[in-house]
Structure 1
Amino acid sequence: MAATSTPQGSVRQRNVASSKKKDVGGVSDAEIEVIKDTNIQPLKATGPGRELDHKIALSIITILAFVTRFWGISHPNEVVFDEVHFGKFASYYLEHTYFFDVHPPFGKLLFAFMGWLVGYDGHFHFDNIGDSYIANKVPYVAFRSMPALLGALTVSVTYMIMWESGYSVPACVVAAGLILLDNAHIGQTRLILLDATLVLAMACSLLFYIKFYKLRHQAFSRKWWKWLILTGFALSCDISTKYVGLFAFVTIGCAVAIDLWELLDIKRPGGALSMNMFGKHFAARAFGLIIMPFIFYLFWFQVHFAILTRSGPGDDFMSPEFQETLSDNIMLQNAVTIEYGDSTVLRHKETKAYLHSHPDKYPLRYDDGRVSSQGQQVTGYPYNDTNNYWQILPGNDNKKTGEVVRNHDLVRLRHVVTDTILLSHDVASPYYPTNQEFTTVPIDQAYGDRAADTLFEVRIENGKPGQEFKSVSSHFKLIHNPSKVAMWTHEKPLPEWAFKQQEINGNKQLAPSSNVWFVEDIPSLPADSPRRAKPEKKVKSLPFLTKWFELQRSMFWHNSQLTSSHPYASHPYQWPFLLRGVSFWTQNDTRQQIYFLGNPIGWWIASSVLAIYAGIIAADQFSLRRGMDALDHRTRSRLYNSTGFFFLAWATHYFPFFVMGRQLFLHHYLPAHLASCLVTGSLVEFIFQNEPIESDVTGKGGKKAGPVVKRHLTARDRFGSQSMLPSWIAVGVILALVAAGWYFFLPLTYGYPGLSVEQVLRRKWLGYDLHFAK
């Protein structure tokens, strides 16, 4: 239609001028201008009748979600897979016993809260897979109900994301249906695991941000602030459950960056923002999406510390200062001041190996041809015996036997059994050519020409100058004085010539916590010595941030160490194609098993749609380059911005795993899979329902809006029996296939019934490593 002087003509021109405005769900900037210029009042996104359709569909989807998540949740009635961890942590919370985990506390606190609600006292510690819940009187169904509830709500939130983004009922149904009938999402939400919390928080962050973005023309209103804060809260719950929740921050952060960039555009509808107003927009988003989430994040750790007040299995991961804040701490009760002349047993904090020596020598040559000193071997030994006894001697004439050893003192260590002195020198260690060898030398050399090489500094971690050196509680680094290397060991065993004991060497990097040792005992000190008296220790306190920083360092370090191989670990490139699963539980007598696996049909459809979407975008860009415009503005806006937002969520939750060095499993893909289902729903509408239809939008006094308004406002939902039919057919075919896949793999997800050999073999589609296949 050509532009005229009529209102519709002016609308057309303005709409074309603003055709590049971004839209992540909701009404676009161009549509707002249409509404303003024609004095029309839009009804709700889909009209009263269509909104009822959405509510009916959402209700049915939600009911089915609860049925699929809660059906048979009491089976099996024994500990399954990682319930040994997260069930145990819930029990520790209820007993106020300190524990350590690499994940933040929010998800675990939810389990503890559920246990508290049903009156559970935490007496069962989930020690082994297969332990009976019934025999140990554990309210395990209540624990499992928490993730089942969250998993069912995730299906509803998925539907609402599509609905809030303006998609039709078929598009919403197919997106939510792929989550509803996915075996992996069901499997993770029927057990005491964290991923249900993680995925729901991620989905809520998308939903809340879309609702916030739709209010961008009501900036700083109460609703605008409400959805901004709720978005930040959802993001906080995400990262407070697992650190991979950071990916949701990246998703929302990218969308916010695009939004702020558009606000800078001087040609934007409604006029340019002043820099002062832009600064307010930036500050509001920074507050709502960074500062507030961080405050919530800190809050869960404050709750964590407030509950865990008693000494427990997590003590060893923390510093002595931290442990002094816990009641009944055995380490502090057994701490004894060390004096010169004491024979001690030194133990490595990380590997638990004892500092050990024996008369055997290093070989002349190592396997790589390097020559050793052929000195006496100094190794790490897993068992305590007399070859682990080291006497602490003064390193200078100012100190004498019987005086207290203090922080930063120079000492010599005498190996009691062989009567030799510990030494390090500029000779390469067996496994590390860059690290120094540790050996021992006779006493006459130690106080003669090798005197300097036998001096070591006792450097207590976080110790004050002159602080007393104590057994058990003083974690320290033994620094070789001349060369400034730290005594260090690792778990790779030496060859047979060292009886496969651990290598001890001098590490030039002093900072790592893997250099830390402690004195486990003082064998030379009689049991009735006054120094072994145990006066009552007063529980101390530390500032919250001090404890928080220490715990964060420990969590990040131990997370980075999860690099060992695992029989069910998988690589990111395997996830979209569902090439591997994880065995959760088996029962030999009944041939039952729980095998964590997604719905292959649903995953393959979603992964294929991702490729189709990338192809559509590439084809559209190519055609635009050649001067061909095959899409109308509204369709392209939705394709690039709304669907693009979902695709961005998938990419930011998937590709970062390729650069991770830690163990990875299929469940890490669940947030990305949810995003791929949103893309699938969007593409179903794009492909099968692409013709605009007439709208229920009218002007004041019942006057129909012009045809231009019809094109841009009715393309929003595209309802109508004729245009909806292809979508419903496509949705029916997709969900029928997905439902068939869900039902076929249901015995592996729910753990019953048991399968015969032939039935197991039929389910090894891609060589899944199922049990009872023979």
Structure 2
Amino acid sequence: MSSPQAARARGKEGSKKRATTPNPDGSAAMTNGNADIDLDALKEKSKDVVTRQWDYKLAFAVITGLAFLTRFWGISHPDQVVFDEVHFGKFASYYLQRTYFFDVHPPFGKLLFAFAGWLVGYDGSFLFENIGDSYITNKVPYVAYRSMPALMGSLTVSTTFWIMWESGYSLPACIVSAALVLFDNAHVGQTRLILLDATLVLFMALSVLSYIRFYKLRHEPFGRKWWKWLLITGVSMSCVISTKYVGAFTFFSIGVPVVIDLWDLLDVKRRQPLSMPGFGMHLGARVLGLIVVPFLMYLFWFQVHFAILSRSGPGDDFMTPEFQETLSDNLMTQQAVNIDYFDSISMRHKETKVFLHSHADRYPLRYEDGRISSQGQQVTGYPHNDTNNLWQVMPSKALEGAGHRVKNGDLVRFRHLVTDTWLLSHDVASPSMPTNQEFSTVAKGDANGKRYNDTLFELRIENGKAGQDFKTKASHFKLVHFPTKVAMWTHPTIPPLPEWGYKQAEINGNKNILQTSNLWYAEDIQGIPADSPRLVKEERKIKSMPFLKKYVELQRAMFFHNNALTSSHPYASHPVQWPFLLRGVSFWTENDTRQQIYFLGNPVGWWFASSILAVFAGILLADQVSVRRGVDALDSRTRSRLYNSTGFFFLIWAAHYLPFYIMGRQLFLHHYLPAHLASALVAGALVEFIFNVEPNELADFTEQQIQDGRKGTSKTQSTRRRPIRERIAGQSLLVTWAASGVILAVLVWSFLYFAPLTYGNPGLDVAQVNARKWLNYDLHFAK
């Protein structure tokens, strides 16, 4: 056993022989002229490695074939709508019908489904209304729809193998990583249905692969291949974030090594230091390829989205009247009526759709927390149409005659018709929010006397021009209390009023008047004469709106409603449950045949990959402690691969997993799929590290490195040492193959055991269902 001093000496000697920079592929890049490389031996080794690549190619072909088999087998079953196919199949139909809809996800993934439907000549007549609806009865080409994600899921397995191959790992390591995705029930189940995750995971994997290919060309900058892989990286990342906004995690995963690489290029102590203009070229190229091009492509998909969806549809209500006027057949523009003073109107909140409502009941003297109220008449939000929703629009100053239009910027008052009281707000805390003002009504005498100012409201039409007419449906407005400058407001997150408020929504005054959640619109006018000239409809022309303005408006709506997805769901789960596969999601059931599709990963694969993540963290900690105690147990090349390549994979896992802990929206097991793929990469890399197998070294050296190296070890010495290295590597390889074989066997067994839940076929009896409830999974037909 060597002494700590000897180990330190060997470590120092190793550091002199090769200075490295962190590389995603784990290779050791030469950064000075001190590297001792036997050029003849290295060239001979490179040729030998190239001739040995047939085994990788064969494994790649077999794994790809198995991926297609597992994803496409029985894809026509069930011939019914399954789980979230009700959403994404419906969106594809809306695209084919050119009908405007709203969704919280960007359009790229949904456009692919529409493209699949268009290829087979489908007209989009089926709207996927309910889980369990028959595809056969409604003549839906659902196999064509499902084939799109199945194709992507199959290619994801191939890409996983390719990532490990390009990173220079041994064949067993490549197979283990690919098999963890290939034989994973969650990846198979999610990529056989009309869902977005197959697109998301594939392009996330392609982003990693293309960046590794780009980084391996670092010694040949600005060449054709260098630019090609840089741009492919950017395009792949753009496709990720154009599918779901969690694609931002992929940008972070790639962005960290890019920043480290640029920081290294800035180092003046490099063997060939860059000038500042040269560094600027590198920086500019990466900004162009990884930021500008992805963003322009991201915008392009929204342009396609707007160009296709030209007709009015169910998404109209989420957009402003200005946006809706760009759509043909829009009911809002067809039914809009100018509002005059003294009209009786009903008003609805844009987001919650509750009516502004009042009734004779009053606020209690004291609330549950001890605060005192005004005991004024209650003003609430009521979801149903009712006579108590009617308010008469009154001018702030006396007007003679009728026919005076209400306009943007006017000071107005509102009289509640049923109780003959007047709307007001004042400096009294609202029932549930002490920071917001109470809305109430006051009797006519006080309203026209000492409380007059409290009944004044400024009507602000959103994006309206000065003097613009106030109309039903077409004018989204904010009602701002004139004396105190608070906006009439409610929100879905506010708890409903207690029993004294009949569980209705609370209406209060919001001090932040810029929030879009302050918007209301007039639903209709009560009692307008049938022969009123205001009801005469003129032929309206479809208006245009700048693309960027439409894009910004849609982005704001998407982010708001995505964050508002906070309601409970019976199959929602927490991030802490995902790595341990503590629960899944029921996708589909059929009582007669006892068949079910239950979204669940391969338990053995998930537990193995999660354990490896913990092992990796422990290895890094142990290595750091050892080095600080003077024991250098790892050679420089192994440490470089461990920290830079495996560490890069670990970063991808953390970036795609940890941010979910700070999210407040609904979360499900499928959100872990990108992180699971990254954990599979870490697992394959650790298999190689633990058994110390000789890796595929072709990825470690480029032709440029060979040409730039300097001969320091004689060919005779290299030839003399090679048999010893090969014998040790051969023994390690046998052990690694044996361990990998055991892992594969258990993976395949577990995959097949849970396959009836993944494919929905065959149906299981009670005993078979209960036998698969390993962690008390909430499976159906367990009784």
Inter-partner Cα distance in structure 2 for 1:639 and 1:373: 68
Q: Percent identity?
A: 67
Instruction: Identify which of 627, 630, 651 aligns with 2:630.
Output: 627
Shift of 1:706: 5.7
* Deviations 1:571-612, CA, capped at 9 Å, x for gaps: 111111111111111111111111111001000110111111
Residue 724 of structure 2 corresponds to residue 724 of structure 1: no
Residue 743 of structure 2 corresponds to residue 743 of structure 1: no
Instruction: Sort the Cα spacing of 1:630 and 1:536 in 2 relative to 1 into closer, same or farther, 3 A.
Output: same
8 Å CA contact 2:27, 2:641 repeated in 1: no
What secondary structure sits across from 1:151 in the alignment?
A: helix
- Map residues 367-386 of structure 1 onto 2, 5 A cutoff: 367-386=368-387
8 Å CA contact 2:489, 2:518 repeated in 1: yes
Inter-partner Cα distance in structure 2 for 1:612 and 1:516: 53
* Counterpart residue number, 2:670: 667
CA RMSD of aligned residues (A): 2.5
Residue 483 of structure 2 corresponds to residue 489 of structure 1: no
Shift of 1:497: 2.1
* Deviations 1:413-463, CA, capped at 9 Å, x for gaps: 011122211111122222222222212122222111111001011111111
Instruction: Identify which of 122, 141, 166 aligns with 2:143.
Output: 141
Inter-partner Cα distance in structure 2 for 1:660 and 1:252: 22
* Counterpart residue number, 1:362: 363
* Counterpart residue number, 2:284: 283
Inter-partner Cα distance in structure 2 for 1:721 and 1:616: 24
Inter-partner Cα distance in structure 1 for 2:106 and 2:47: 39
Residue 297 of structure 2 corresponds to residue 296 of structure 1: yes
Residue type of the alignment partner of 2:73: W
Instruction: Sort the Cα spacing of 1:497 and 1:296 in 2 relative to 1 into closer, same or farther, 3 A.
Output: same
- Map residues 54-65 of structure 1 onto 2, 5 A cutoff: 54-65=56-67
What secondary structure sits across from 1:347 in the alignment?
A: strand
- Map residues 42-191 of structure 1 onto 2, 5 A cutoff: 44=46, 47-191=49-193
* Counterpart residue number, 2:260: 258
Residue type of the alignment partner of 1:591: R
Q: TM-score, normalised by structure 2?
A: 0.93
* Deviations 1:335-371, CA, capped at 9 Å, x for gaps: 0111111111111111111111122222222222322
* Counterpart residue number, 2:30: 30
Inter-partner Cα distance in structure 2 for 1:679 and 1:45: 28
Between 1:239-248 and 1:412-421, the stretch displaced more is: 412-421
Shift of 1:718: 10
Instruction: Sort the Cα spacing of 1:694 and 1:443 in 2 relative to 1 into closer, same or farther, 3 A.
Output: closer
8 Å CA contact 2:14, 2:636 repeated in 1: no
* Counterpart residue number, 1:682: 685
8 Å CA contact 2:26, 2:644 repeated in 1: no
Instruction: Sort the Cα spacing of 1:691 and 1:314 in 2 relative to 1 into closer, same or farther, 3 A.
Output: closer
Shift of 1:45: 7.9
* Deviations 1:96-115, CA, capped at 9 Å, x for gaps: 00000000000000000000
* Counterpart residue number, 2:455: 454
Instruction: Sort the Cα spacing of 1:46 and 1:378 in 2 relative to 1 into closer, same or farther, 3 A.
Output: farther
What secondary structure sits across from 1:103 in the alignment?
A: coil
* Counterpart residue number, 1:4: none
Instruction: Sort the Cα spacing of 1:678 and 1:713 in 2 relative to 1 into closer, same or farther, 3 A.
Output: farther
Long gaps (5+) in structure 1: 1-11
Instruction: Identify which of 553, 562, 565 aligns with 2:565.
Output: 562
8 Å CA contact 1:695, 1:710 repeated in 2: no
* Deviations 1:195-228, CA, capped at 9 Å, x for gaps: 0000000000000000000000000000000000
Inter-partner Cα distance in structure 2 for 1:569 and 1:693: 42
What secondary structure sits across from 2:30 in the alignment?
A: helix
Residue 321 of structure 2 corresponds to residue 320 of structure 1: yes
8 Å CA contact 1:14, 1:30 repeated in 2: no
* Deviations 1:551-582, CA, capped at 9 Å, x for gaps: 01111111111112211111111111111111
Residue type of the alignment partner of 1:217: H
Inter-partner Cα distance in structure 2 for 1:443 and 1:693: 87
Q: TM-score, normalised by structure 1?
A: 0.94
Instruction: Identify which of 484, 501, 504 aligns with 2:504.
Output: 501
What secondary structure sits across from 2:739 in the alignment?
A: helix
* Deviations 1:632-652, CA, capped at 9 Å, x for gaps: 221111111111111111111
Residue 445 of structure 2 corresponds to residue 436 of structure 1: no
* Counterpart residue number, 2:607: 604
Instruction: Sort the Cα spacing of 1:343 and 1:465 in 2 relative to 1 into closer, same or farther, 3 A.
Output: same
8 Å CA contact 1:693, 1:719 repeated in 2: no
* Counterpart residue number, 1:613: 616
8 Å CA contact 1:181, 1:599 repeated in 2: yes
Between 1:418-427 and 1:541-550, the stretch displaced more is: 418-427
Residue 768 of structure 2 corresponds to residue 768 of structure 1: no
Inter-partner Cα distance in structure 2 for 1:528 and 1:83: 47
Inter-partner Cα distance in structure 1 for 2:44 and 2:610: 37
8 Å CA contact 2:200, 2:244 repeated in 1: yes
Inter-partner Cα distance in structure 2 for 1:27 and 1:237: 28
- Map residues 214-363 of structure 1 onto 2, 5 A cutoff: 214-269=216-271, 271-363=272-364
Between 1:47-56 and 1:170-179, the stretch displaced more is: 47-56
Shift of 1:761: 1.0
Inter-partner Cα distance in structure 2 for 1:307 and 1:718: 63
Instruction: Sort the Cα spacing of 1:331 and 1:64 in 2 relative to 1 into closer, same or farther, 3 A.
Output: same
Residue 544 of structure 2 corresponds to residue 541 of structure 1: yes
* Counterpart residue number, 1:5: none
Shift of 1:511: 1.8
Instruction: Identify which of 539, 552, 575 aligns with 1:572.
Output: 575
8 Å CA contact 2:168, 2:697 repeated in 1: no
8 Å CA contact 1:111, 1:146 repeated in 2: yes
Instruction: Sort the Cα spacing of 1:153 and 1:712 in 2 relative to 1 into closer, same or farther, 3 A.
Output: farther
Residue 667 of structure 2 corresponds to residue 658 of structure 1: no
Shift of 1:47: 1.8
Shift of 1:399: 7.9
* Counterpart residue number, 1:7: none
What secondary structure sits across from 2:490 in the alignment?
A: strand
Inter-partner Cα distance in structure 1 for 2:116 and 2:697: 51
Instruction: Sort the Cα spacing of 1:719 and 1:664 in 2 relative to 1 into closer, same or farther, 3 A.
Output: farther
8 Å CA contact 1:473, 1:518 repeated in 2: yes
Between 1:616-625 and 1:292-301, the stretch displaced more is: 616-625
Between 1:393-402 and 1:743-752, the stretch displaced more is: 393-402
8 Å CA contact 2:38, 2:715 repeated in 1: no
What secondary structure sits across from 2:121 in the alignment?
A: coil
* Counterpart residue number, 1:388: 389
Instruction: Sort the Cα spacing of 1:55 and 1:375 in 2 relative to 1 into closer, same or farther, 3 A.
Output: same
Instruction: Sort the Cα spacing of 1:718 and 1:673 in 2 relative to 1 into closer, same or farther, 3 A.
Output: farther
- Map residues 513-528 of structure 1 onto 2, 5 A cutoff: 513-528=516-531
Shift of 1:658: 1.1
Inter-partner Cα distance in structure 1 for 2:497 and 2:94: 38
Q: Which has the higher contact order (CA 8 A, sep 6+)?
A: 2
Inter-partner Cα distance in structure 2 for 1:522 and 1:712: 91
Long gaps (5+) in structure 2: 1-11, 708-712
Shift of 1:707: 4.8
Shift of 1:711: 8.3
Inter-partner Cα distance in structure 2 for 1:98 and 1:718: 66
Instruction: Sort the Cα spacing of 1:540 and 1:86 in 2 relative to 1 into closer, same or farther, 3 A.
Output: same
Shift of 1:381: 1.3
Shift of 1:18: 3.4
Between 1:23-32 and 1:221-230, the stretch displaced more is: 23-32
User: How many pairs align?
Assistant: 759
Shift of 1:714: 12
Shift of 1:121: 0.4
